Amino acid sequence: MWIARMYQAERPNTCIISNGFAAMGIAVPGAIAAKHAYPERTVVAATGDNGFLLNSQELETAMRLGTPIVVVIWNDGAYGLIKWKQMERFSRESSVSVTNPDFIGYAQSFGAKGYRVNSAGELGPILRRAIADQTVVVVDCPVDYRENQKLTQRLGGLVCPD
């Protein structure tokens, strides 16, 4: 949701989001396809932790094919957006929390690199390093989705300029 609302796409098809059916698990295979379609471009995939796990085995494909992509995992240990909607509608959550693997160790098991973000100020430098690595890189970034409601209220009040 944050990428869809906040990313300033300067050219068509530079931000690909599985909208409509909102299919989870598109980020890693989608990033591999995008990099093969446009090998000269930098490709960064942003995905939730559980969306990542649906097709995370494709890290092997990216490594085997020598496809440098960066995968940023928004890690909240839950199906965050579903949890948020459950809380909004029912004031309780059900069956949305999960136990994640060590994403850095998981990436390294495929020969990829991995970085963990420990503070907001680290994200930019880590992304620059990950892009410069020119290999498959997983960035484990903890998030607090309680900020979603605040963001939605603030952005809902904005009007696009003419």
Domain-embedded: residue 137: yes
Q: Check residue 134 and report its DSSP letter.
A: -
pLDDT, tens digit, 9 for 90 and up, residues 65-75: 999 999 999 99
| Residue predicted with more confidence, 81 or 152 | 81
Question: pTM (2 decimals)?
Answer: 0.85
Q: To which residue do tokens 């009040």 refer?
A: 157
Number of domains in the chain: 1
Domain-embedded: residue 51: yes
pLDDT, tens digit, 9 for 90 and up, residues 91-121: 888 988 889 999 999 999 999 999 999 999 9
Which residues are bridge partners to 140 per DSSP? 73, 116
Sign of the Cα torsion 45, 47, 50, 51 reads negative
- pLDDT band, very low/low/confident/very high, at 20 (cuts 50, 70, 90): low
Whether the CB-CB separation of 50 and 31 falls below 8 Å is answered with no
Q: What is the CATH number of the domain that holds 44?
A: 3.40.50.970
Is the predicted pLDDT of residue 152 greater than 70, yes or no? no
